[in-house]
Amino acid sequence: MTTYAFWNNKSGVGKSYLTFQVASEYAKTHSNQPVLVIDLCPQANASSMLLGGMGPGDQNLDQLCNQAPRKTISGYMESRILSPYINPATGGTFLIQASQYNKNIPENLFLLPGDEQLEMQSSRVLNAAAPGPTDAWRMVHIWISDLIEDVKKVWNQKNITVFIDCNPSFSIYTELALSASDGLIIPFSADGSSKRAVRAVLALLYGITRVPGNQQSPFYLHSQQSRLQIPKIYFYVGNRLTQFKQSAQAFRTVVREIGNEIWSVWQNNPNVFFVHPPGQGSPATRSAFNHMFQFEINDANTASVVSSSLGIPLTTLAAGKHVIPGAATPSIVNQSQLDKLQPNIRDFVTSIMP
Ligand SMILES: Nc1ncnc2c1ncn2[C@@H]1O[C@H](COP(=O)(O)OP(=O)(O)OP(=O)(O)O)[C@@H](O)[C@H]1O
Ligand SMILES: [Mg+2]
């Protein structure tokens, strides 16, 4: 069983969109295995899509937030703030089966919904991490790992694949998400700030600073001291790169620079990469490296708007007219568009190991 985090230190690069698309398709193609999505973002975009999209998804989310305790990540966090160092084993009680709210989602997909309350809780989570008992930092940073263990016990299942959607900020809850993850999927777009954000990921998580003597990230230092696992880079994903078509040359340069940067990390720190699939040897050439760690997701244009607004995964979306709540006219999804987009998501999911 593997836990994947979608994270980049930049917003709007497709973390939530990919969590939704990838987890749904993965659940569909692994119907004999439970799949868990943990939404560790206060914006809860992935949850909203999984719960039915614009309108119904948001209403469902509100209803889950109004329960006592909240049936969201914040409900779980509250139980851990009350018992920071002893796992109360409550993790399993906050999950919901997404298909009960959105019939477009496979029955084996379970969700721990996101919650705006996370933002309000973060200072109390930080207070639990320090000061406290000697090992407080570590014990707080494994709250999400504890949760996954709780779920495995309750379900009596070892084989759970977990996808975590993260907030772009390197906040305490992002640290908790990453501390529970084995594989890191870094979506990026083709602009200068994406390049800086990828560098920030490398520095914040792996202590890879470009200038010798630069301050090291406290998370990196603490995780080394506490022997806490850090996720390894599984994929870096160029998402909707063609949206920058107008400035083709500029975007190609950025994509190449990001590729070079990650390649140089591989050459100096191969241990921060998650070599996959199992049994595969380390890539010996640049092209084998690209094949293993790099992926490109197409810009889905109208189909993405329809898919996320209606909570219908792209791989099950039908061609034709779709009515989006609040839109003056129906949106049309062409079969020719889907014929390109669906295999692209399916290919990506094929490379995600259980
Ligand atoms: N491949 C794609 N094709 C078309 N639209 C996309 C694609 N990927 C993402 N989008 C759209 O881009 C916008 C930003 O994506 P998303 O919300 O997933 O980014 P994010 O990284 O989660 O942002 P944040 O950091 O704010 O959480 C959304 O409107 C989403 O539907
Ligand atoms: Mg998001």
Per-residue pLDDT tens over the stretch 50-91: 999 999 999 999 999 999 999 999 999 999 999 999 999 999
Q: What is the pLDDT of residues 129-140, one digit of tens each?
A: 988 788 999 999
For 44, the domain range is 3-300
The DSSP string of 254-298 is HHHHHHHHHHHHHHH-GGGB---STTPPPP-SHHHHHHHHEEEE-
| Predicted local distance difference test score (pLDDT) of residue 250 | 75
- The tens digit of pLDDT for each residue in 295-341 reads 999 999 999 999 999 999 999 999 999 999 889 999 999 999 999 99
Report how many helices (DSSP H) and strands (DSSP E) the chain contains, helices first: 14, 10
The Å distance, Cα 271 to ligand 1 centre, comes to 30
The pLDDT assigned to 3 comes to 98
Cα 223 to the center of its chain, rounded Å = 20
Q: What's 124's domain CATH number? A: 3.40.50.300
Ligand 1 atom 9: the closest Cα is on which residue?
14
**Ligand 1 nearest atom to the CA of residue 8, by list position:** 21
The reply to whether 227 falls in a domain is: yes
In a domain, 171, yes or no: yes
Q: Is residue 37 part of a domain?
A: yes
Ligand nearest to the backbone CA of 187: 1
- Residue 295 domain flag: yes
Inside any domain, residue 307 = no
- Residues with CB in 5 Å of ion ligand 2: 15-16, 45
Could you tell me the pTM of the whole model? 0.97
- With a 6 Å cutoff on the Cβ, whether 88 touches ligand 1 is no
Q: Is 43 in the pocket of ligand 1 (CB under 6 A)?
A: yes
pLDDT recorded at residue 109: 98
In this structure, what is the dihedral angle of CA atoms 310, 314, 315, 321, given to the nearest 10 degrees? 70
**CA atoms of 71 and 150, how far apart (whole Å):** 16
- According to the model, what pLDDT value does residue 246 have? 60
Identify the pLDDT of residue 252: 82
The answer as to whether 241 is a domain residue is: yes
Token pair 């994270």 is found at 7
> What is the reported pLDDT for 112?
98
Answer whether 272's CB lies under 8 Å from 252's CB: no
Between CA 74 and CA 83, with CA 78 as vertex, the angle to 5 degrees is: 145
Q: Tell me if 239 CB under 6 Å of ligand 1.
A: yes
> Cα(44) to centroid of ligand 2, in Å?
7
Mark the ranges of the chain whose per-residue pLDDT is less than 50. Answer: none
**Structurally, how many domains does the chain consist of?**
1
Q: Is the CB of 16 under 6 A from ligand 1?
A: yes
Atom of ligand 1 nearest to the CA of 167: 27
Assess if residue 285 is contained within a domain: yes
| Residue 168 forms part of a structural domain | yes
* Distances 204 to 137, 152, 244 between C-alpha atoms, Å: 17, 30, 28
Instruction: Determine the atom of ligand 1 nearest the C-alpha atom of 240.
Output: 1
